[in-house]
Chains A and B, each alone.
Chain A
Amino acid sequence: MNWGITMTDDMTRLDDMLAAARHARRDVPDDLVGRILADADRIQANRIAVPRGEERQKEPGLWQQLLIGFGGWPGVGGMVAAGVTGVWIGVFPPENLPDPSDLVFQTSGDSEFLNYYGLVDVLGEEG
């Protein structure tokens, strides 16, 4: 068919033009090569100045030092547990322990004790 012949001719012409384009390949412009090599040198120099994996060890910060001082996370965990237990005992004391609020705000205990024993008696008990 005529259309088929025309299409074949068009394709042949296109192949011809593509071949011309292959031969017309452009070199990289010199100034672009210069910029590319400047990038390469800069990155290479930075890498040599700070070798990979050998970055200077940073000093541990305050929290890091505290963590180390408490024996790491297990130590901190034990400390938190002890603190929570202390608060719990303070708020809901067992029956055989004196109420902490009475110990803090005691009004009568000490005075009765001191009234019963005179200061001289207390100091002179050992002797």
Chain B
Amino acid sequence: MKDLASKGSKDRGSPPAAAPVTEEALLRLYANGDPEAARELVGLLGPRAYSVALRVLGNRAEAEDVMQEAMLRLWRIAPEWQSGQAKVSTWLYRVVMNLCLDLRRRRQALALDGIPEPEDGSPAAMDRMLDVARVDALQEALMTLPVRQRQAVVLRHIEELSNPEIAGIMEIGVEAVESLTARGKRTLAAVLAGRKDELGYHDDG
């Protein structure tokens, strides 16, 4: 299984000699007791789900808790997974988003703690420093958005999911997704406009 799964997850860009192992097939293998399937699934689904949690929550410890809980629910539901229902990744995004909302509701009083400190370190190149500063500034700006707008913007413009898929994840209509992302982007642009000099953007190009 391991070879097959590795082929599925690593060579997805090249024309496959055999059908790639899908998330659903891996989940079925896990439910049937395959000892390697869980690791393959984490490798396949983990980075994106964790990044989304991190972006929406802006806090590493909370994102880790959400990620672990979401994966725990996936392990538990594995035997009941219905073939042909939502993609596993879509299901996982939905669980992550809902857990983020739950966490935010529980810790609303501590919302100001949610903005992560810029990471320490001394990147050599100025471009790298600016990139880091811009990503951190973006995170701070994201944290000023209402949480549903933030979720929609992260899923659409960082995860690059389609509007219908986001609608399925957030359990709202496609038009509502479009509205949330449009309003979110306008707000982000306005917030970041005030910091363009500090972030290395200049009007003269």
Contacts and interface: CB of A to CB of B under 8 A. Distances in A.
Interface string A1-30: 000001101110111111011101111110
Of the four ranges (under 10, 10 to 19, 20 to 34, 35 or more), the interface on chain A belongs to 20 to 34
B7 interface: no
A32 interface: yes
Main secondary structure on B side of the interface with A: helix
A35 interface: yes
Nearest to A48: B33
B50 A18 contact: no
A33 interface: yes
Of the four ranges (under 10, 10 to 19, 20 to 34, 35 or more), the interface on chain B belongs to 35 or more
Contacts of B157: 15, 18
A21 B58 CA distance: 13
Contact of B38 (A6, A11, A24, A44): A44
Interface of B: 30-31, 33, 35, 38-39, 42, 46-48, 50-51, 54-55, 64, 67-68, 71-72, 75-76, 79, 131-132, 134-135, 137-139, 157-158, 160, 185, 188-190, 192-193, 196, 199, 201, 203
Interface of A: 6-7, 9-11, 13-18, 20-22, 24-29, 32-33, 35-37, 39-41, 43-44, 47-48, 52
